[in-house]
Every structure is written in structure tokens, then in C-alpha cells.
Amino acid sequence: MVVVGAGPRPAPCGAEVLCQTYDALPHAPPVISLNAVSKYSNTDVKISGSLYLTSNIYSLLLVIFGRGTSAAAFSATLIRPAPRQFSCAAFLWEKEIHHAAKRVFSRARGVCFGGEGAHDIPGVSEVVQALGGLTGYLQQAYVNGVSQGHLTGIRVPDYDGPITDVTSNDIICNGGINPYHTPLPSTVITVPAGAQFTAEWHHSLVGPDPSDSADPVDPTHHGPTITYLAQIPNALQSTVTGLKWFKIQEDGLVASNQTWGVDRMIANKGKVTFTIPPCIPAGQYLLRHEMIALHSATTYPGAQFYMECAQLSITGGGSTQPATVSFPGAYKGSDPGITTNIYYPLLTNYTVPGPPVFTCPGGSGTTVKPSSTVKPASSSTVKSSSATKSSSSAATTTGATAPHYGQCGGFAWAGPTVCASPYTCTYVNVDYSQCL
């Protein structure tokens, strides 16, 4: 065991750093495992990583499983001997470790390795891309506008890095490479069929942070938001493989102003609202809510998938059994909604990955097809790949009012423009106003 202590601050790092020194490392191919445990809200948080030799130069790859504070105890376990090529690795610790990771590997600041910045070290560009994916967490649910509590009934990882392999079981409900915060939640959220359900995201598990420019999520991570449901024997069971999923919400690209579902979620302070279909059977379900970041999706793997699953008990309802898909299986790396260039040329349409949105028989939702690539709309408000919007079920009734968190205005909006009392139609952007 080599104990890692505080060393001198390397001059090239223009930031507050803690420099760990590795003493008397013997000569051999390197693998050094770093481990850290800190306390955050009385919860153990573990961070691990490895040093690798690339063209005789170390590059640092961190796999972060949690959050940390400035008070962290480090140790280094020698897995295989390694040459002492550089004396220190600098880590920038701030309020939360995933903030630190983004800055540690930023090209502006770099990571100190014997005076070299991270961008000078072969292989670190891949690390920069990977850690640049730290986005956010689904961490709070609302049923008909009523909060169910922070982290209540939602399976969250301690670290929400991107899933990029659509064939991995991690694409189901996260976990795996992003280990779950344990113990898993013991609460099942009761939701009446037909209710409005709101999913709320934030950049860290502590909730909203107005001082964080990446809250609720990184604003560069343009892409769709998508929601699925799957019946499950017991919403508290840990096994999620083999479930059958159906899509109940999607919000993709509005081509007229190049805005995405994630953009609208950010404008709504991390919230996405949709309707639980009123015709599905009562029972235990998992709700899989997802955002896909397409900022680096020009090749596969490149798109970044972020998802969490909420544990639901749906009451009331009907007997309709939707058509279903499997995860993995619903997505392919070659899907045009997964491998795409969102920057040039500008997209004129976008196909949200996965199956069409399920709509209850008899018009519980409205399907609008402004272009051949747009999926049928759910009963919630869905932005399509053109300026045309689909309406909620409330919009189909003359004189209807929009519910709390429902859409009440925007370019080409044909639905209700008056909110149910006591809510007010609040302007968000040119395409979207909401009852708040």
C-alpha cells in the first residue's frame, strides 16, 4: 500500500488542487488503482480510477462512482509495479466530484503530470469526451403537481455518467457501470391512471443549484426526452432484464428554431410533464425516463444516454395492453435518431429513437403528423420535428383549460391558452408557455 499525501501544487495547474505524490514506484508496466472515500450527507462515497502508460506517458482515467467534498482521504493500491515517470497527479475538488471531473480534464486547466497539461498527453482526449458527459439525475417525481419527495421511489446511481452502448443491460435503468446509490428505494409511488406525471432532473443529487451553470443539465447536451413504462411483478425487485416496455412520451426537435426536448426541459427548470395513459391496466410498473445527448453523435458510439427508473403503482386504468419493445433491443446504433450530426447541415427533421408513442384507443391522445418522420403524439404535449405541435387531450375540448405544468401557448399552439385555477400561463420561450 502506498499512502498518497498532499504534495506541492504544480505551477501549470491554474486552479486549487491537491497533488498526490507517488514515491518509490518500481519499474514495470503500470496499473495503479486510486480509491477515495469521503462523507456526503452521512453516505459513503467511493471514487476509483487507474493510471495507464500510453506512449511512455501516463494518462489518467477516472471512473467516478459518486460525489465528494473537499475533505477526502486518498490511498493508492499498487496493483502492478509502475515506473515513476511523473511525481504527481492533481485533482481539483469542489462542492461535488462530478464538477471536479469536468474541470480536471478541461483543456483550459489540464491535469498536471510533471508539468504537462492533460491535452498534451496521448489518450486523454478520449477521457475528456467521456467525462464531458456528466449530465444529471432524474431525482424527483410529481403526481398531478404534488411532489413525491426528493429521491423518493427513483433508482439513482451515485454517478450518472453516459451510457453509450445500446446493447448493454445498463441501457435499461442505468446501474452497472454507474452503480446504484444503495440501498435501493423502498417506496413505490402511487399514480392514478390518467394522471399528470412530472419528472425533475438536476445536475447533482442535492437538487437545484442556481450557482451551477450546468443545472438542471449541461446546456450543450441537445437531444430528445423519452419516457417508457413496463409492467413488473414487484416494483421493488432489483431485476429489470426481460421487461416489456412501451413509450408514453417523447419530445424531439422543433426544426423551425432548432430546439430540443432537453432545451425545453432546461427552460422548465429540469421538469418534463406527461400523462400516464388512462387505459392501461392497474398494477406495478417501472417508469423509465431518459434523455439522449446528441452533441457527439456523429459516429457510434457517440450519443449519450441518461436514464433513471421510478417505481410506480398505477391505480384505476383499463385493460388495454400496449405493443411493447425490449431493452436492450429497442435501439440500434445505426438508428438515425442515435447516429446523427445535429450541427451541420442543420436538421430539418429528426426521428426520435424507439417505437411510436402509445395512444389509448378512442382518442385519449392526439396524433399529429407534420412530417413523415414524426412519431404519433402521446396524450402529453410533444414537440415534433416541425413547428407544428401536438395537443394534449385537454386541447381537444372546446373551452378546456390546461392543467398545472401543461402547455398553454407557443408558436402554432392550438390547445388551451387558459390555465386551470389558480395557475397562470407563463412564457418560457417563443415555442412554449406553461401553466405555473
Q: For residue range 133-185, what is the model confidence (pLDDT) as tens digits? A: 457 899 999 999 999 999 999 999 988 789 999 999 999 999 988 899 889 99
Who has greater pLDDT, 256 or 125?
A: 256
What is the average per-residue pLDDT within 59-78?
Answer: 28
Residue pair 13/112 in contact (Cβ under 8 Å)? The answer is yes
Condensed to tens digits (0 to 9), the pLDDT of residues 109-125 reads: 223 222 233 333 333 33
pLDDT of residue 410: 74
Q: Any residues with CB less than 8 A from the CB of 117 and at least 6 apart, and which?
A: 12, 107, 109, 110, 111
- Decide if pLDDT at 50 tops 50: no
What is the average per-residue pLDDT within 209-234?
Answer: 94
pLDDT of residue 134: 54
And the C-alpha cell for 392? 394534449
Least Cα distance to 223 among 173, 162, 171 occurs for 162
pLDDT of residue 411: 59
pLDDT of residue 429: 61
pLDDT of residue 124: 32
- Strand-pairing partners, residue 91, are 18
pLDDT of residue 363: 55
Give me the domains of the chain, ranges plus CATH numbers: 6-131 (no CATH), 134-382 (2.70.50.70), 391-436 (no CATH)
Band of residue 414 on the pLDDT scale cut at 50, 70, 90: confident
What is the average per-residue pLDDT within 66-84?
Answer: 28
Distance (Å) of CA 225 to CA 53, 135, 203, 229, 291: 39, 13, 16, 14, 4
Q: What angle do CA 93, 94, 98 make, to 5 degrees?
A: 85
What is the average per-residue pLDDT within 251-278?
Answer: 97
**Whole-number Å distance between alpha carbons of 278 and 365:** 10
Band of residue 400 on the pLDDT scale cut at 50, 70, 90: confident
- Decide if pLDDT at 70 tops 70: no
Kindly report the average pLDDT of the chain as a whole number.
Answer: 69
Q: Report the percentage of the chain scoring pLDDT > 70.
A: 59
Condensed to tens digits (0 to 9), the pLDDT of residues 308-343 reads: 999 999 999 999 999 999 999 999 999 999 999 999
What is the average per-residue pLDDT within 65-84?
Answer: 28
And the C-alpha cell for 239? 431485476
Chain-centre distance of CA 202, in angstroms? 9
